Amino acid sequence: MATLLPLLLAAQAAAAPFPAPDCAVVPGWKQQGEARSYDAENLFDYMNGASEGYFSYGFELMRGVTCAGAAGDELVIDVSAMGDPDHAWGFFQSQRDPGSPVEAIGSGAQVLPRTATFAKGRHYVEIKATSDKDHRAALRAFVDALVARVPGEGREPDAVAWFPPEGLAPGSIRLVPESVLGLRALKVGFLGQYASGRAFVAPEASPEAATATMQALRARFTGATAVPGLADEAFSAQDQYLGRLIFFRKGARVAGASNAATDADAAALAKALAGRLP
């Protein structure tokens, strides 16, 4: 029992509700109005109907405050607990401005003139200014103060390192929370864009579950052809929308390449990906 106690306490800490953000972490700012708290039952009301994206990434709870500055500025701060760290990072990736750089704060952050966002652990943080001017100084001050108070590790998912760097479009790796490649058999997974096509990795609960997914995929594509010597099992296929495809299983992960122009492109990308998967 003694050896299990640290694990039990860690699990309880991870599941415990996190506190509402505190305006006082940055000098000169005070809370305006009551603190907010939303769960899956009432988030829809707060988000004016734009809550489906949150739910796709496993949203559980949001806590927030509105902070007022001495100059009359207002910042709306919301901290959301998502399904797990991968989904929090994935939600950040889905919300970020693709034309602006991502900073190495938490598992990823952006500070723009009117909005700042970051992910850390299983939490996603959004800070929005209500007035139309450049608020980057105040937003960065709150990001720097809050990132130390948000629980969890600040690092990208392990899956990011699985994708071969050669030919990978910068910042293109994302977590698809359902139906990777538009295929229901691939329930959740990571996707990266390459000059020669797209690479994907869909982790399963076990090698047996991954084998069942491979069987479902093989049945989905008529004319599928076995590809020997690539991971534990593999096959190639052709699709009207997904182009030339290779699916393979390595342990408990289903992965491969899609939208390749040639069989050689698909094979090279799949082989490079298989070589990096643990």
H or E, element range at 66: strand 61-69
How does the average pLDDT of the chain come out, rounded?
92
Helices (H), 153-238: 207-220
78 and 31 co-located in one domain: yes
132 and 58 co-located in one domain: yes
**Per-residue confidence at 129, pLDDT binned at 50, 70, 90?**
very high
CATH number at 196 reads 3.40.1000.20
Order the strands of the 233-239 sheet from edge to edge.
174-176, 189-194, 197-203, 253-260, 243-250, 233-239, 225-226
State the CB neighbour count (10 A cutoff) for residue 178: 12
Instruction: Give the domain range for residue 123.
Output: 15-147
140 and 233 co-located in one domain: no
Does residue 153 sit within a domain? no
Percent of the chain with pLDDT over 70: 94
166 and 77 co-located in one domain: no
For 41: left if phi > 0, alpha if psi spans -120 to 50, otherwise beta; the answer is alpha
131 and 179 co-located in one domain: no
Does residue 142 sit within a domain? yes
Q: What is the pLDDT of residues 158-176, one digit of tens each?
A: 999 999 999 999 999 999 9
129 and 224 co-located in one domain: no
Q: What is the pTM of this model?
A: 0.90
Reference 272, options 169, 168, 156; nearest CA is 168
User: Does residue 15 carry a pLDDT above 50?
Assistant: no
User: Does residue 229 carry a pLDDT above 70?
Assistant: yes
143 and 19 co-located in one domain: yes
Does residue 9 sit within a domain? no
Contact between 90 and 59 under an 8 Å Cβ cutoff? The reply is no
User: Does residue 95 carry a pLDDT above 60?
Assistant: yes
45 and 99 co-located in one domain: yes
Contact between 124 and 82 under an 8 Å Cβ cutoff? The reply is yes
**Per-residue confidence at 17, pLDDT binned at 50, 70, 90?**
low
Order the strands of the 123-129 sheet from edge to edge.
29-39, 61-69, 74-81, 123-129, 115-120, 108-111
Q: What is the mean pLDDT of residues 247-276?
A: 97
20 and 113 co-located in one domain: yes
Q: What is the pLDDT of residues 115-124, one digit of tens each?
A: 999 999 999 9
Beta-bridge partners for 191? 174, 200
Question: How many angstroms separate the Cα of 91 from the Cα of each of 80, 191, 238?
Answer: 10, 14, 31
C-alpha dihedral sign at 38, 43, 48, 53 = positive
110 and 32 co-located in one domain: yes
The number of folded domains in the chain is 2
Q: Domain boundary residue among 147, 172, 200?
A: 147
pLDDT value, residue 53: 92
